[in-house]
Structure 1
């Protein structure tokens, strides 16, 4: 389990991605979908990236395998994090990465996002 998160349950990828809502919703409450008694904001751009761009790291090819319903620290609401497993069987979080970084003029548009595992995303960030 990823440090810093309180985990509640695991979900198959299809179960989560099938509930994605339009990102045009302005309030989190409008994008809230019930997952076993917890309202999750399913209008997140991150979920849309995973649905449209896939759940495989664009750099190393690590495949996202499942979503975990988690919350960090003292957060009131749960959210989903996508995880894959590395060669040692350890969980690796999948992230939404800017293809062209915002610092270099990249936008927060779906066309400028890709799926990337956390280690590859961190390594990319150090190169820029």
Structure 2
């Protein structure tokens, strides 16, 4: 490359740098002027101040990891059940998270509608007054307006995965799925349904297994806890709920006792009369 060519190239590069700097500072000056006088931009800022107090800031990324100890375990793992178990372990947090994100979605619709109804009021005369070309003014106004629109958190990403590495690290296996707030809500709803069922009469009755019934009879010495009668006295022994299921009693050892058929019947009559 000749000396003359080098000089020409250097001159062009220098010119481009100078031109770029001038354009940058001119554009920056125009942008500041537009920010100062744009009613559209000002209205959005006022709206943002209001909605910054309404939109809830929450964490958006979570990770649930399961390290399997056997190949069979990773083959059989149900990632959604694993996902639900993690939600259940910190139920209150994820319940509140779901509430806040869904609230953000609802409020965003109103916010977006209000944003779309903010229109530019700039005129050619106004642009000329602040010494910014009209088309440039409109272009800059739209750019800073779009950039200032709030973007509330309306979803989350939960990375749920399971891994297994064989002995000596010869083989590695991985299962993964990504879940969003709709999946969290599904898990919350399912957990609530399970809790309601566990509180139900049907569930409490299902807990009275033959094994539990025998454990209570054995604990009580196969003897009625009111009159002391045993099967040798010709009575039939029952395992009774001290606080009846119908009144909120649970099928657990502390609420169970052995009664003979006579005492059990007498207790039932007394409860019904109460």
TM-score by length of 1: 0.45
Report the structure, 1 or 2, having the larger strand content.
1
Higher RCO structure (Cα 8 Å, ≥6 apart)? 1
Report the structure, 1 or 2, having the larger helix content.
2
Q: Which entry has the higher C-alpha Rg, 1 or 2?
A: 2
